[in-house]
Amino acid sequence: MLSVDTVAIDMPAGPSEVLVFADKSSDPSIIAADMLSQAEHGFDSQSILIVPDPMLSNKVLDQLKKQLEDLPRKEYALSSLKNSRIVCTKDRVQILDIINRYAPEHLIFLRDDWDDWEQEINNAGSVFIGQWTPESAGDYASGTNHTLPTGGWARSISGVSLESFQKHITYQQLTQQGFLALSSVIEVMAQHEGLDAHRRAVEIRKASLENSSRQDHNRAKQE
């Protein structure tokens, strides 16, 4: 039996994570601060940084050391940083592959060219665009969702929202013409899935329509 202090409230969310995407226009102190804002969550958190060259990564490392000195949760942050990585690359294809495959809970885009990347970044729990949008704003003030998918789940699900607590019913009604227009599609799909009863549910209806049509035709001839 779970005690009150062990009840999970963020499921299916797991350890917190952030991916910071920066370039030479980014302030190294801000990059480091955003990485640490995730690293201080817990021992198993993770911060990933993508930058174009080692020079910028070295500046960020210097800032990390400096900001860690007086961080109250330094022990957590240090452990988290052991799980973290800095990737130096200018290869656009590789960058997009990393972001979309990692599917970060938080993606902090610390560059000035969001419009050039927006259409190709498909997997992230929540995106923070520009130097004035820290992840902590999403936690406390900007109003966006804070219960987000982690561990790569952003590839397939979104964060918890109002829709998660709503019940929806879908309705459909086909006319005879609409049914006949879709019938061949349904039959082919059912056949390929090996679901013969699905296919027969269509065939029997078609046969019924054909039989009804013949009867109407015969009655018309008799008259």
Torsion of CA 100, 104, 105, 108, to 10 degrees: -100
Beta bridge partners of 128: 108
Options 17, 40, 106, 135, the catalytic residue: 106
Amino acid in position 150: T
Q: Which of 139, 178, 145 is nearest to 163 (CA)?
A: 145
Q: Which of 33, 34, 18 is nearest to 66 (CA)?
A: 33
Beta bridge partners of 20: 49, 108
- 75 as an active site residue: the answer is no
Q: How far from each other are the two terminal CA atoms of the chain, in whole angstroms? A: 79
- 198 as an active site residue: the answer is no
Options 105, 118, 187, 223, the catalytic residue: 105
Cβ–Cβ < 8 Å for 149, 158: yes
Cβ–Cβ < 8 Å for 95, 139: no
Indicate which residues carry an active-site annotation.
105-106
